Structure 1
Amino acid sequence: MLQLNAIRENKDAFISALKKRNLQADTIIENVLQLDENRKATQTQLDNTLAEANKLSKEIGDLFKSGKAKEANDLKEKSAHLKEASKQLTDDLNSISTELQNALYQIPNIPHASVVAGKSEEDNEEVFKEGTIPTLFEAALPHWELAKKYDIIDFELGVKIAGAGFPVYKGKGARLQRALINYFLDKNTEAGYTEVQVPHLVNEASGYGTGQLPDKEGQMYYMPEDDLYLIPTAEVPVTNIFRDVILNEKEFPITYTAYTPCFRREAGSYGAHVRGLNRLHQFDKVEIVRVEHPDKSYQALNGMVEHVKNILRELKLPYRILRLCGGDLGFTSALTFDFEVFSTAQDRWLEISSVSNFETYQANRLKLRYKDENGKSQLAHTLNGSSLALPRVLAGILENYQTEDGITIPEVLVPYCGFDRIG
């Protein structure tokens, strides 16, 4: 959430920056500033009314003590009117404050200066590419056919149990899935991230804290009986560890990693591009989250990008990195780098990771602050990244490592899964 003072002081710059997201923000920004003026005016009126009521109450008390009951009772009627007025002003203030908060929730983060304007993923910038795309044999198969051929993932059984988008991993498929989770966690902890296990359900405050609510409310699974949401990513519970926390500057950097299943409704997703593991309602992911000093957050972002690069190098998968344009940038992000692995059998790139800096946007929602060297409270910066999302990594391994007589397991994963081939 953007800070009101920053909006007021940089109104024109913010409106211009939001155009990168194809958002004409003039009306939204003006509405926020007007609501803030109304809030401040109402607060002043309430303060004055309460002060007058307190003064009157003292006068009434003094009159009763002096035996002037009639004068005191005359003033009590005026006091009653002031109490009624203060009650109405309190209700008005609460209403305006709620409207202002909701209006602020509707404004996305300001893109970083390096983000280019663009309308869709077609306008994203490729900033890095590495790895050799293998040349497959003529009868090479996409991963959903390989899964069926070697009986390692059963999509139809998942439909029977839950519905489309809930695959069942079997035998070596399940072991390979577990191997990837353990490998990713080990790589992250070796890099200094502290592993945590977190709830897979969160409350509404947590959803608002990291920005999934209200922006992605329709994409999250919701349980009204308990007023809880299934998590779309570990980012939500891990980052909310720091909701309403004031840190000491010396505690930076704070680095966490977590494995969780992720749940996304993916409403409106149909067609060949979502076949197999390409898009699921439930999938596994290992996440990295950082809380940083504002002066160090972009250095940390670069470090996260290098960290994911090293994992993909060890897996020997061809990949590229995109800097997202304004039109494809996530609602809460200031700058995002997407990693994509090349699916040889599908002849297209598949997104496997997003690494983002949210600057103070999430921290302002979370009330996540730190005390600087002068003892003043400042907003921290938050970052997160997939390290990594499993479905498309697995799809890339199955397709790029397939041979005519089976699927070779990447060398780095063999100690984790206990076999070097499928088939």
Structure 2
Amino acid sequence: MRMASGDDTDFHEFCKEKGLTDCTVSELERNGYTTMSTFLELTAEDIKTEDFKKIPFRERRHLQRVLKEQKESVGIGLLDTTGDIWEDTDEKGDPDELRIVLLGKTGCGKSSTGNTILNKTRDSGGFLNKGGQAAVTVSSKRTSVKINGRKIRVIDTPGVYDPARKWEEVQHEIVRCLCLCTPGPHALLFVIKSNDRFTKEEDDAYYKVKAMFSNHVNKYIIIAFTRGDELLEDESTLEETLAKAKEDVEHNRKLHKSGKGDIPDLGQVVKDVDDRKVLFNNKANTADKARQVTELMRMIEEMVNNNGDQPYYKDETTQKIWEETEKELDRIMAVRHVSKAEAMQIHQDNLKAEAKKIHQNNVNAAEAMRKRQENLEAEDREFTRRVRATLAGGAGGVAAAAGGVALGVALAPAAAAVGAGAAVVGGAAYVAQKTCSVM
């Protein structure tokens, strides 16, 4: 506990202006924080201690935001210049944790962005990541870390529009990932590459994700642009990229009147989430990564605050999933006699096995379809061969018939001459017969 010092009049006015409740102010005073100078010595970690346990959770969160804003306003940074904002943590539940889900098209940099947030690599407990369009994440994974003393849980999901997987399979996996962030994610990061033109696939991916959830899901979405290092190399900015995208859309609208072209509207997607966007350079040094992550945390905190009574996303579907998950965990604990954490691991293993089974069934179905297609193509080739052979034989018969007609035409004059001779002979015989009968 601190000793009070100085005049507390300005501090009381400050608390009132910032909307701190009487309960919060009372607890601050009880712990000796009664002036602006002593208030600025308070830390986010102090607020989480037993000394402030009487302050309701939401009010403590608000107090942390006020403290952060005030320190920044007077030049007291909360971020160490070395970027040392991370510390390891366990996977146990924490009522004060922030839960983040990464979503986006295959190859957009979800896993790399997750590793930047966690300050980890694929070899140090982070997510698997690999450049290019090949999918590396095939099932949802979660990893946790503490950032500025706050536990952050990050869930990586398979890419939307993975050419090797059916949409139904990806959809099942994304819904399953919600079990990894019960009772719901505070933020859905939709990841897009900043150095490429916004494609129809990315546009469809965004709206497909939205369609999976309820209409109010956009209140929890932040657009995370990756490849910030390439923008830096091109001496460009994210704002310039968005301005160029807007020009493309306007140009397309002019062409569209004559039935030409169709470029998805990136600006509309950003507008749809109230302009919440961040740029990530996943190749930056530790200090720069820390600044990026701190900005993201600030944005998430602001979004959570704006979402008021519903700080994390939930709807009837996800609520049902979480209720069923809790029932399954209770069943596993009763049957296996294990802790809830162990039951969760068993449940996740079961879900992974189920997802693997679905994937294998889809692979088998695709293989059966491929063989069926091969058989149909073989039958088609055989049918074509037979038709050609039949047509070839028919052509020979036609040629023979034509030859016969030609021969008949050639012999017609001779036949006519024979006929004429026969007629003369017949006529002579007739005359002779009549002559004999008269006589």
- Determine which structure has greater relative contact order: mean sequence separation of CA pairs < 8 Å that are 6+ residues apart, divided by chain length: 1
Which structure has more strand as a fraction of its residues?
1
User: Structures share a fold, TM > 0.5?
Assistant: no
Normalising by the smaller structure, the TM-score range is under 0.3
Structure with the higher helix share, 1 or 2: 2
TM-score by length of 1: 0.25
